[in-house]
Structure 1
Amino acid sequence: MATATFPATYIRPCDIEECNRASRALCHCCSQDLCIVHLKEHVDILNEQITPILDEIVCLSDKVWQLKDSSVMKKDLEKLLLWKKDAIRVVHNYYMFACRRLKEFVNETLDNQQDTIQRLHALVAEFVGNHDVTKDDIVWITEKVEGIQKQIIKQELVETLVKLRPLVIEKDVIQIDWMLPRMIPFDLGKLSEPHSSKYLHKEFSYDGMASSKDEQYLLLHTDNLLYLFDHELRAEQQMKWEYGYVTEICYAGLLEKFILLTDVGKMRGVYSLCIHKMRVEKIIAGEFCKTACSNMHLYLLKKEQGPCVLYQYKLTNFELSRFLVCAKNESIHSMACNSDMLGLIVFRRVPGVNSFKFRARFEVRSTAGKLDILWSIPMEFGSGIFAYNSISSLNINGWLVTDTADRRLTHISTNGTIQSTLIYKYGYPIKTALLGTDSIVVKSENDHHFQCRRETIINLHKLTNID
């Protein structure tokens, strides 16, 4: 085949290898001289590359609109409203305290003056009746009367007893930004000493304890009283509890209420508590021993023989579903929820040489469907099936499992990996809970051998001290 030849005035040939066509254009993006065919191919390739980008931009635009309509802003508006209500409640409580203090101050001052006047009046009346007053007595009485007169004149001139300063709110008390969930470093091996402690003076207090969804409040039952603590373990409120012994507490974020289980006679059942009004309501009757709350459901375990059946109630309408989660030779000892996951400590009875043995496992199920198992790992507890154990949620950090008999805390990740274990040095741990954004609460029993007594203590450990 003859090779094409071009006159001296010919524009450059196509830069594509093995192409002998004459170039028709210079592509400025890749600095190549291209013929008509390869120019079209080049344009088509670029169009193929830009089309998916255009589709992605449209998808991003749709996502932005979805974010505007998402539940995030609605939840945050509700969060701000709740913050406003809490702030109003704090101001109102301080206002009521100031009113009580003002009345007490005025009444105490005036009552003391009135007592002084009455004693002085009785003394003068006695002098008049007995006719034995002396000149010195008259001088002393006159000085007392003048002193009281000056004090009353001064009080009459006072225009106000209250000095007020404007309530200053820091500008950064509310921060608005696209913030990812905070991943607080959590290492049991570096758990700090207790930042603060509360003594309950009660032996082995297995009463319920739980924190609210945002970990801003801790609810605790002991000695027929409910205590509501803030994130620094300061008592916010206290109320008398008249509905029986509280065995379990969890928090229903959708209802913004604590859920409490009681186990005494006719009072036994499930109660809800609104902490803003400290109002109690019985919501379910029955004999239950365990409870946990996910984002959308309340889970209850009954005291009954045979296979373990979990009762699932929708928090929106309390529609009931039942799930068989254990075999006949198995029992659930503890349970807790972490977002849409349900954690269970399960003991299984297996035949031994001369008796039965028990093996424990920690399993996590999805609450989004039919409680399908996500993963399961074996566990060991110091006193076997007789051990007291508990589970608490660490949010995105996973789970914290308590073994009271061995004083052991075990940190387990959300995917079932044991991260660390710790022998707790500050007593026998009974229950744990997150509190605030940087703290964990451990309810434990201290054994005072030298005093021949035991007492329950609530320890607040700060996580910010962890490197």
Structure 2
Amino acid sequence: MSQSCSINKCIRISRGLCDCCQQNLCLQHLIEHNASLVSQLNPLTDEVNALGDRLKTLNIQKTIADSREKLEQWREDCHNKIDCFFEQKCQELHQLVNEKVGQQREELNRINLKITELINAQETTRQDIDLLTFTIRRLERNMNKIEQTCFTIDTRPLIIDDTLISIEKVTEHELDLSTLSPVYKTIHRPEESSRLLTGNDRYLLIHQYPNLCLFDREMNIVKQMLWSYGKINDMCWSSTLDRFIVLGINHIYLINENTMSIDNMQTSEERLWLSCTCSDTVLFASTNEWGSSIMKFKLLPAIELIKEWKYPFTCAKDEAITDIVYNDENLSLIVISESKKSVRIELRYAKTLDRIWILKLDI
């Protein structure tokens, strides 16, 4: 029995199965669907042409400029090393000859001085004449040897190993440590200071016992205040609150960079805190205990605890989350194990805390 066209209100008999929608269509609708597919080829052609134009205008020299500069620097360094090595060997060659010439010069000076003394004294003997003559002849023979001296220079070709230079494409988000600038400035801090630091696009917040200090881009202290709230376990910046967040042992503090005022963030229950990080809308904080929990606080309109993940979902009973960092809707955790004496990094989705991958560290 013939089947009707699948298009609503179409009473014509189907003539075939449409490749794009997998429906049985009549001839007219098959033609329409085919025309619709063909019409989509034109935008694709435009995109291909646009990519072709980009290829034509691609400045390869600009793309490889930085890498070529590194290769040029490597070549210059190698040339300098070869030149230094060449000069070193030339100096060795000169030194070998100069030692012999120096010895002859000293002997000539000694003989010349002896002859001068005899002339001034107007007195000499046959023995003096014979000894001087013998010495002069010996010096003459030595001079002949020096003039006729030749050296055997044994050289080997310089072998260039292809592994001396490795060229690899760097992915967009990969950190190239070779691009890091040299040390600009060192800040010396008292031993009692916390090793933690954090920053925004204006300042760097550092604990320099007994003060909390804000440093500008030139690493100069622009503001500071006395910190009398005990040990600092972690700190981060919240662009939403426009505040620095500092974790104490069991309190969370908000620091105003303009007034350097300190506010105690009220939480529903007192916990021992260890690490914190912020997204645009949420504060994540891990607890300082084996079998750590991760607390999720919304920041606006008021700071409020909205979620707590507990062990065994966060980690095992004998494990602790010592560091937590938010980036691009993901959380990176550092987890230590008391029983296994091990450390690992985990990447998890920030919304659900589902694990993405694990990397065990051999430390």
With normalisation by structure 2, the TM-score equals 0.48
Q: Which is richer in helix?
A: 2
Structure of higher CA gyration radius:
2
With normalisation by structure 1, the TM-score equals 0.38
Q: Which is richer in strand?
A: 1
Structure of greater relative contact order (alpha carbons < 8 Å, 6+ residues apart): 1
